[in-house]
Amino acid sequence: MSFYAELIISLLLILGGVFVLVGSIGLLRLQDLYVRLHAPTKATTLGLGGILTGCMLYMFYVEGFLGVNELLITLFLVITAPVTAYILAKAAMHNRVRMMERTRNKHHIETARSQLPPSDDNKDSE
Protein backbone atom coordinates (compact mmCIF):
# COMPACT_ATOMS: atom_id res chain seq x y z
CA MET A 1 0.00 0.00 0.00
CA SER A 2 1.33 3.44 -0.85
CA PHE A 3 2.27 6.08 1.70
CA TYR A 4 -0.47 8.44 0.52
CA ALA A 5 -3.17 5.79 0.81
CA GLU A 6 -2.03 5.01 4.37
CA LEU A 7 -2.00 8.73 5.17
CA ILE A 8 -5.53 9.29 3.86
CA ILE A 9 -6.88 6.23 5.66
CA SER A 10 -5.14 7.25 8.90
CA LEU A 11 -6.49 10.80 8.67
CA LEU A 12 -10.03 9.54 8.08
CA LEU A 13 -9.81 7.18 11.06
CA ILE A 14 -8.32 9.82 13.36
CA LEU A 15 -10.79 12.52 12.31
CA GLY A 16 -13.66 10.09 12.68
CA GLY A 17 -12.46 9.14 16.15
CA VAL A 18 -12.16 12.79 17.16
CA PHE A 19 -15.70 13.55 15.95
CA VAL A 20 -17.09 10.53 17.82
CA LEU A 21 -15.23 11.62 20.97
CA VAL A 22 -16.54 15.20 20.69
CA GLY A 23 -20.08 13.91 20.11
CA SER A 24 -19.84 11.65 23.16
CA ILE A 25 -18.52 14.46 25.35
CA GLY A 26 -21.29 16.74 24.06
CA LEU A 27 -23.88 14.13 24.95
CA LEU A 28 -22.60 14.10 28.52
CA ARG A 29 -21.93 17.81 29.03
CA LEU A 30 -24.80 19.64 27.33
CA GLN A 31 -27.60 20.92 29.55
CA ASP A 32 -30.95 19.65 28.32
CA LEU A 33 -32.39 17.01 26.02
CA TYR A 34 -33.05 19.35 23.11
CA VAL A 35 -29.45 20.56 23.00
CA ARG A 36 -28.07 17.08 23.68
CA LEU A 37 -29.69 15.75 20.54
CA HIS A 38 -27.23 17.72 18.40
CA ALA A 39 -24.17 15.85 19.67
CA PRO A 40 -25.04 12.32 18.56
CA THR A 41 -26.83 13.35 15.39
CA LYS A 42 -24.21 15.74 14.05
CA ALA A 43 -20.75 14.91 15.36
CA THR A 44 -21.15 11.18 15.85
CA THR A 45 -22.74 10.68 12.43
CA LEU A 46 -19.88 12.53 10.78
CA GLY A 47 -17.34 10.62 12.88
CA LEU A 48 -18.74 7.21 12.03
CA GLY A 49 -18.92 8.27 8.38
CA GLY A 50 -15.18 9.06 8.48
CA ILE A 51 -14.33 5.80 10.20
CA LEU A 52 -16.40 3.73 7.79
CA THR A 53 -14.97 5.58 4.77
CA GLY A 54 -11.47 4.83 6.08
CA CYS A 55 -12.45 1.17 6.43
CA MET A 56 -13.78 1.09 2.87
CA LEU A 57 -10.55 2.57 1.50
CA TYR A 58 -8.45 0.15 3.53
CA MET A 59 -10.38 -2.83 2.21
CA PHE A 60 -10.03 -1.45 -1.32
CA TYR A 61 -6.25 -1.23 -1.06
CA VAL A 62 -5.74 -4.50 0.84
CA GLU A 63 -8.39 -6.80 -0.66
CA GLY A 64 -8.99 -5.03 -3.98
CA PHE A 65 -12.74 -4.43 -3.64
CA LEU A 66 -14.99 -1.86 -2.03
CA GLY A 67 -16.89 -3.06 1.03
CA VAL A 68 -20.60 -2.74 0.40
CA ASN A 69 -21.33 -3.35 4.10
CA GLU A 70 -19.57 -0.14 5.17
CA LEU A 71 -21.34 1.83 2.46
CA LEU A 72 -24.74 0.52 3.55
CA ILE A 73 -24.02 1.22 7.22
CA THR A 74 -23.02 4.80 6.37
CA LEU A 75 -26.11 5.31 4.23
CA PHE A 76 -28.40 3.85 6.88
CA LEU A 77 -26.81 6.01 9.59
CA VAL A 78 -27.09 9.21 7.55
CA ILE A 79 -30.76 8.51 6.83
CA THR A 80 -31.89 7.36 10.28
CA ALA A 81 -29.99 9.67 12.66
CA PRO A 82 -31.89 12.88 11.79
CA VAL A 83 -35.23 11.07 11.77
CA THR A 84 -34.53 9.57 15.19
CA ALA A 85 -33.50 12.94 16.60
CA TYR A 86 -36.67 14.53 15.24
CA ILE A 87 -38.87 11.84 16.79
CA LEU A 88 -37.10 12.15 20.17
CA ALA A 89 -37.42 15.95 20.14
CA LYS A 90 -41.09 15.78 19.17
CA ALA A 91 -41.84 13.24 21.93
CA ALA A 92 -39.96 15.39 24.46
CA MET A 93 -41.92 18.46 23.37
CA HIS A 94 -45.27 16.67 23.73
CA ASN A 95 -44.26 15.28 27.14
CA ARG A 96 -43.22 18.78 28.24
CA VAL A 97 -39.61 17.96 28.99
CA ARG A 98 -37.98 20.93 30.70
CA MET A 99 -35.85 23.31 28.62
CA MET A 100 -32.96 25.57 29.58
CA GLU A 101 -33.94 28.99 30.83
CA ARG A 102 -32.02 30.77 28.10
CA THR A 103 -33.71 28.88 25.26
CA ARG A 104 -34.86 31.30 22.61
CA ASN A 105 -38.22 31.21 20.83
CA LYS A 106 -40.07 29.31 23.54
CA HIS A 107 -43.30 30.74 22.16
CA HIS A 108 -42.95 28.43 19.13
CA ILE A 109 -42.98 25.38 21.39
CA GLU A 110 -46.02 26.65 23.27
CA THR A 111 -47.78 27.24 19.94
CA ALA A 112 -46.98 23.69 18.80
CA ARG A 113 -48.17 22.25 22.11
CA SER A 114 -51.44 24.16 21.92
CA GLN A 115 -52.16 22.62 18.50
CA LEU A 116 -52.00 19.07 19.84
CA PRO A 117 -55.16 17.00 19.75
CA PRO A 118 -56.76 16.38 23.15
CA SER A 119 -55.02 13.64 25.09
CA ASP A 120 -56.66 10.49 26.40
CA ASP A 121 -56.24 11.76 29.97
CA ASN A 122 -58.81 14.49 29.34
CA LYS A 123 -61.32 11.96 27.94
CA ASP A 124 -61.09 9.76 31.06
CA SER A 125 -61.82 12.67 33.41
CA GLU A 126 -65.05 13.66 31.59
Q: Among 80, 81, 103, 64, which residue's Cα sits nearest to residue 27?
A: 81
With a threshold of 0.75, does the pTM exceed it? no
CA dist., res. 116 & res. 92, Å (int): 13
Instruction: Decide: residue 79, CB within 10 A, 0-12 exposed, 13-18 middle, 19+ buried.
Output: exposed
Give the pLDDT of residue 6: 94
CA dist., res. 9 & res. 30, Å (int): 31
Give the pLDDT of residue 14: 96
Above 50 in pLDDT, residue 126? no
CA dist., res. 34 & res. 96, Å (int): 11
Return the amino acid letter for 114: S
HSE, side-chain direction, 13 A CA sphere, residue 1: 15
Tens of pLDDT, residues 61-98: 888 888 788 889 988 988 888 898 889 888 888 887 77
CA dist., res. 71 & res. 68, Å (int): 5
Collapse the DSSP code of 100 into the 3-class scheme (helix H, G, I; strand E, B; otherwise coil) and give the result: coil
